[in-house]
Structure 1
């Protein structure tokens, strides 16, 4: 089994586990990003309060709306990304070695090369998996319709009675048909432009991660200590993702707005024709703060997910390699003399 395939499978497994743990936060964050309401009370509602409101009025299952396609998307994205990342990384390492033999460089992959490797892997991943994330965004932002009525005994009470009106089934097949009816096949690549620009997020993330990991390993070798622990991998992944998320968050909001169901009637400020139109309307009607809606939730979700992903991936890679070594040893032992 090739190293690229091992890392691809490990990345997919780590991504699924991270997704299961952090999915409710992701659902709330997507709703925050696509919320056009500028009322102060909505902006002040914390993540915990929004989680509570979703559970109270729509049920626990709505926190996991779109989970199935999201898990498929996560496995596909992480698998594709890590597979191509290892291929491009290996080529970069070979190039660096060849340059060293010619007296250029020290034989290691530099920061710029690491950035390019991550960017190329990210672009391939985006082009192949964008349709899945369009479906996931639609399902995460789909809400029940509520009918509000106050108790006659306390007409001014804040404890209003909400009655949920059950919508038609909103399954994956329904969403796919909805997207196709709206914009045809091209509808499944909505938000692909800001998403392609956002490959800088994993690029920055992996550049930071690889740089910190290399320095830590070098320090361990010099000090004669043991290999890096899972907890240290967890912390490195968290720090790398934190830096990348802060830089690229506005693009994530624009992407979510484009992939969510568009309002084709009524107020046109809620209907986006494309990336530039979305940016201009957000600036005009919401100001710069609109680009950072739900950022605190995203930081918590992204950092936790990335940390879990890196930790699980490294452990899976280590475990798979140990199994392959054991199988090879057993195969040699079982051969007749």
Structure 2
């Protein structure tokens, strides 16, 4: 099994576990980003308050709306990302070694090269998986609300009370059909421009992570035992710090992406309908000010930092375990 495939599968596994742990936070954050209700804006609910409101009015299941396609998207995104990341990383390392042979550099991959590798991997990921995330955003922002029948039209029970009925469950197929009816085939690539810009998020994240990891290993190697092994807890903390820095820098672009991928309110107030990326940016500035680009940022920091830390930790442990297992299998298959 190639190193790229090992990293791809490990990244997918780590991403799924991180997604399961942090999904309710992600749902609340997406709603905060796409909310344009002035009444709700006045209340400014915190993360836990918002979560309680969803549970109270829509039930626990709405915190996990879109979980199935999200898990598919996470596995696909992390798998694609880490697969291409390892391929590009290997090529960058080969180039660095060749440069050292010519007396240029120390043979290690620098910060700029790490940034390019992460950016190329992110672009491949975005172009292949954007349709999944459009569907996930629709399902996360769909609100479940029962519709009460008017007394004059109600179906009377033996108590002569109006009956409330629940709308049919909003599933993946409904979201897919809604996107297609609204914008056709290309509707599944809504928000792809800001999403491509968001490639800078994992690029910055991985640049910070690789740089911090390299420094930790270098300091560890100076110890008496000469070992540069890094613990799972250290990986967790390094991943958290790297994601925090990347999230703070790129959050406004993430808000624009979510606005474009959420259901468009055609025929209503023009501020609720965006024709494209620039139109969304200009309307947000005009009607909401710069603060609109930072809606739900505290929730996102908690969710993304926790998810990234878990992802890095699980992914590294899976890679180690897989390599160890393959090594043992290879040793056992050798003739005595």
- Give 1:276's match in structure 2, choosing from 267, 275, 278: 278
8 Å contact kept, 2:70–2:136? yes
Aligned to 1:44: 44
8 Å Cα contact 1:145-1:165 kept in structure 2: no
Kept after mapping to 2: 8 A contact 1:58/1:164 = no
**Offset of 1:224 from its aligned partner?**
3.3
Q: TM-score, normalised by structure 2?
A: 0.93
User: Using a 3 Å threshold, how does the CA distance of structure 1 residues 52 and 42 change in structure 2: closer, same or farther?
Assistant: farther
Unaligned runs of 5+ in 1: 149-162
Q: Which runs of 5+ in 2 are unaligned?
A: 149-162
After the TM superposition, which of the residue ranges 101-110 and 66-75 deviates more from structure 2?
A: 101-110
Please state if 1:87 is matched with 2:92.
no
Kept after mapping to 1: 8 A contact 2:179/2:187: yes
Go from structure 1 to structure 2 and tell me whether the alpha carbon gap of 1:36 and 1:83 turns closer, same or farther (over 3 Å shift): same
Counterpart secondary structure, 2:321 = helix
Give the match's secondary structure for 2:184: helix
Q: Distance in 2 between matches of 1:145 and 1:287?
A: 30
Count of matched residue positions in the alignment of Structure 1 and Structure 2: 320
Q: Displacement of 1:167 after TM fit? A: 2.2
CA-atom RMSD in angstroms: 1.5
Q: Deviations over 1:244-275 (max 9, x none)?
A: 00000000000000000000012111000000
What is the aligned counterpart of 1:325 among 315, 327, 331? Answer: 327
The TM-score, its normalising length taken from structure 1, stands at 0.92
Alignment of 1:104-143 (within 5 A): 104-143=104-143
Determine if contact 2:147/2:167 at 8 Å carries over to the other structure.
Answer: no
2:216 maps to 216
Partner of 2:240: 238
The one-character-per-residue Cα deviations of 1:47-100 (angstroms, maximum 9, x if unpaired) are 000111111111110000000000000000000000000000000000011011
Contact 2:62 2:144 in 1 (8 A): no
Aligned residue number for residue 159 of structure 1:
none
Deviation digits for residues 170-215 of structure 1, max 9, x if unmatched?
1111111111111111000000000001100000000000000000
Moved over 6 A (4+): none
